[in-house]
Amino acid sequence: MLNYKQYFAKKLSSLLTGFEAHDIMAWMEYPANPDQGDLSLPCFRLSKTLKKSPQDIAEELKAVLEDEHIDELEAVSGYLNIFLKKSMFAESLIRHISQAGDHYGSQSLGLGKTVVIDYSSPNIAKPFHVGHLRSTVIGNALYNIHAFLGYNCVGINHLGDWGTQFGKLIVAYHLWGSKEAVNQRAIDELLDLYVKFHEEAEKDPTLEDQARSWFTRMEQGDQEALALWQWFVEISLTEFQKIYKLLGVQFDLYQGESFYNDKMEPVIQELKEKQLLEEDEGASLVRLDAFGMAPALMLKKDGSSLYHTRDLSAAVYRADKYEFEKLLYVTDYAQNLHFQQLFKVVELMGYAWSSKLEHVAFGRVSIEGGSLSTRKGNVIRLESVLEQSIQKIRDVIEARNPGLANKAQVAEQVGIGAVIFNDLSANRIKDIDFSWEEALNFEGETGPYVQYTYARACSVLKKAQLPDGDVVQIPEVDGARLQDKEAMAVVKMLYLFTERVEQAMVKLEPSIVSRYLIDLAQAFNRFYHTCYILVEETQVRETRLALVQCVRITLRNGLKLIGLQAPHEI
Ligand code: ARG
């Protein structure tokens, strides 16, 4: 499919001296109002160099630009507005999408390049909460989007499976726990022990010392400590995997913090050799005052390692192993400082790849206005959120469409889709509140709305007796039959998919895809309500059906990218 921006930018740059096609392309816009053309070039930026008014430039371009794709040109208020030959545009796009099918929107721009994505990364022996859900969902979407654009992706779950919290847990387990209780209540028991530890430690600070010494024993390879640790890890992993299964998320590697236990020593040595490590009251740290940051702590007084030590070793290890184009860390913005420090230390070590590290920060999540904290124990567990969501959708289906086949499966797809979509519905840096009413609303800007629209497109095709499984070849496409403005709005929206996916990759912002899906679904629903699709006249009907099919393909591709299923019927 022709990239119109690129195509016209090239043509325009050949008509203008001193401007690169690349820049012109970046300036071009798709006007929101169809009366202002399908594409437009604001001429303001050219004005200074060309020493002419934007309007004069637009007029001059209008006089000389000629092309078979152009129906009409206008020079208005400093803009050159391009109106495409609509039928040619619609026809070629519909053919392209129908042919490309599952690949529509994909590109090969990432071929030969590797992106490593560190996401989800919950902490062992603590429950998987809605904050980790956001990391999982954003990381998974970024993985899919990069893979769709040809990148080789490596998805790593950097489990929090090492650190002083295990010392705390061991102390708590010895004092108040039992083998039976842990076996029976699994992660719930671990959480209760963890919470109890913090309550009791407020009264008796020696508990903290005991916890530290258990952790030191772990670091020194103590058998008893390690056996307990291993047991806690297994219990937590089993729990996490249930959630990943529900979400349909997979990782290439589970490489938690403990993986770096034997890889930290050489990195500490290297820091010493590069004279970056300083002693401070027995602890070792890298000073970052010159960069306006607190020091990055590398070793505690007792010689034990920290979150930073393990992250630094992980970065060095990954750089050796993958020669990545980008290494992305998906966590909430509370870790901004941690990653700024980490990236600075890597830079100070002299590694050129420090510029390839990026913190994909996101905002905090609350549920119905309530905040979440592990220590105090008022945690809302993700599994229960997902289960409630599925149940609520099941009730809706029961009320609206009780005869639906495989209700349970559809309720799961939509219930989970609602939660995932909610996490991706706004710019990632924004804090979000999860509200049942909003997230599950079939008419709102939600996952269920997009999925429902997808099912509607499938149902239209089914009514027309076109099989709704694979892409079907619809014989007659005649762009001239798509002149209604609602139909053209759908065509234009379909066209934008490729560019939006690319933007989502560049900005590391999956919400661009979810926003797009809402826009496409809304455009399609306006078309559906205004233009009767199954009309008598064969050519109009088939052309409209072809358009519906393209909507179906594009919605499905987009849903897949952000990790949602596309049920044929709801
Ligand atoms: N386990 C951490 C947490 O729950 C997130 C880890 C993110 N990845 C990393 N390489 N630091 O906050």
Tens digit of pLDDT for each residue in 79-138? Answer: 999 999 999 999 999 999 999 999 999 999 999 999 999 999 999 877 777 889 999 999
Q: How confident is the model at residue 472 (pLDDT cuts 50, 70, 90)?
A: low
Name the residue of 130, 335, 372, 382 to mutate for ligand 1: max ligand atoms within 8 A of Cβ: 335
Q: What pLDDT was estimated at residue 475?
A: 61
Mean pLDDT score of the chain, rounded to an integer? Answer: 93
Tens digit of pLDDT for each residue in 313-348? Answer: 999 999 999 999 999 999 999 999 999 999 999 999
> Encoding tokens for residue 195?
């919470």
User: Residue 468 pLDDT more than 60?
Assistant: no
Residue from 124, 126, 123 nearest 135 by CA: 123
Say how far residue 255 (Cα) sits from the centre of its chain.
21
C-beta of residue 151 within 8 angstroms of C-beta of residue 113? yes
- Decide: residue 226, CB within 10 A, 0-12 exposed, 13-18 middle, 19+ buried: middle
> Encoding tokens for residue 99?
């042919």
Q: What is the DSSP letter of 380?
A: P
Backbone CA torsion sign across 228, 234, 239, 240: positive
pTM of this prediction? 0.94
Q: What pLDDT was estimated at residue 525?
A: 98
Q: What pLDDT was estimated at residue 474?
A: 62
Going from the Cα of 343 to the center of ligand 1, the distance in angstroms, rounded, reads: 15
Going from the Cα of 309 to the center of ligand 1, the distance in angstroms, rounded, reads: 13
Question: 324 in helix, strand or coil?
Answer: coil
**What is the number of the ligand 1 atom nearest to the C-alpha of 334?**
12
Going from the Cα of 275 to the center of ligand 1, the distance in angstroms, rounded, reads: 27
**What is the number of the ligand 1 atom nearest to the C-alpha of 257?**
10
> What b/e readout covers 107-144, taking b as 16+ CB neighbours within 10 angstroms?
eeebeebbbbbbbbbbbbbbbbbbbbbbbbbbbbbbbb
Instruction: Name which residue sits closest to atom 6 of ligand 1, judged by CA.
Output: 121
Tens digit of pLDDT for each residue in 162-199? Answer: 988 899 999 999 999 999 999 999 988 998 999 999 99
Sheet holding 70-76, edge to edge: 39-42, 79-84, 70-76
**What is the number of the ligand 1 atom nearest to the C-alpha of 159?**
1
CB 331 near ligand 1, within 6 Å: yes
User: Residue 470 pLDDT more than 60?
Assistant: no
> Encoding tokens for residue 372?
């979440």
Q: What pLDDT was estimated at residue 464?
A: 85
Sheet holding 296-299, edge to edge: 277-280, 283-286, 296-299
Residue from 451, 458, 365 nearest 415 by CA: 451
Q: How confident is the model at residue 383 (pLDDT cuts 50, 70, 90)?
A: confident
**What is the number of the ligand 1 atom nearest to the C-alpha of 314?**
10
Q: What pLDDT was estimated at residue 163?
A: 85
User: Rounded mean pLDDT of 68-75?
Assistant: 96
CB 311 near ligand 1, within 6 Å: yes
Q: Quick one: how many helices (H) and strands (E) in the chain?
A: 20, 13
Residues 275 and 266: their CA atoms lie apart, in Å, by 14
pLDDT over 90, % of the chain: 83
**What is the number of the ligand 1 atom nearest to the C-alpha of 160?**
1
Name the residue of 116, 121, 312 to mutate for ligand 1: max ligand atoms within 8 A of Cβ: 121
Q: Looking at per-residue confidence, does 227 or 384 come out higher?
A: 227
- Decide: residue 280, CB within 10 A, 0-12 exposed, 13-18 middle, 19+ buried: exposed
Instruction: Name which residue sits closest to atom 8 of ligand 1, judged by CA.
Output: 158
Q: How confident is the model at residue 539 (pLDDT cuts 50, 70, 90)?
A: confident
Tens digit of pLDDT for each residue in 420-432? Answer: 999 999 999 999 9
User: Residue 471 pLDDT more than 70?
Assistant: no
Q: How confident is the model at residue 466 (pLDDT cuts 50, 70, 90)?
A: low
User: Rounded mean pLDDT of 251-280?
Assistant: 97
Instruction: Name which residue sits closest to atom 1 of ligand 1, judged by CA.
Output: 160
Could you give the domains of the chain?
4-84 (3.30.1360.70), 416-561 (1.10.730.10)
Q: What pLDDT was estimated at residue 379?
A: 56
Instruction: Name which residue sits closest to atom 3 of ligand 1, judged by CA.
Output: 122
C-beta of residue 98 within 8 angstroms of C-beta of residue 473? yes
**What is the number of the ligand 1 atom nearest to the C-alpha of 338?**
11
What does R_g of the chain's alpha carbons equal in angstroms? 28
The Cα angle at residue 313 between residues 310 and 315, in degrees rounded to 5: 110
User: Residue 374 pLDDT more than 50?
Assistant: no
Residues 128 and 186: their CA atoms lie apart, in Å, by 13
CB 329 near ligand 1, within 6 Å: yes
Q: What pLDDT was estimated at residue 375?
A: 46
User: Rounded mean pLDDT of 234-248?
Assistant: 93
CB 118 near ligand 1, within 6 Å: yes
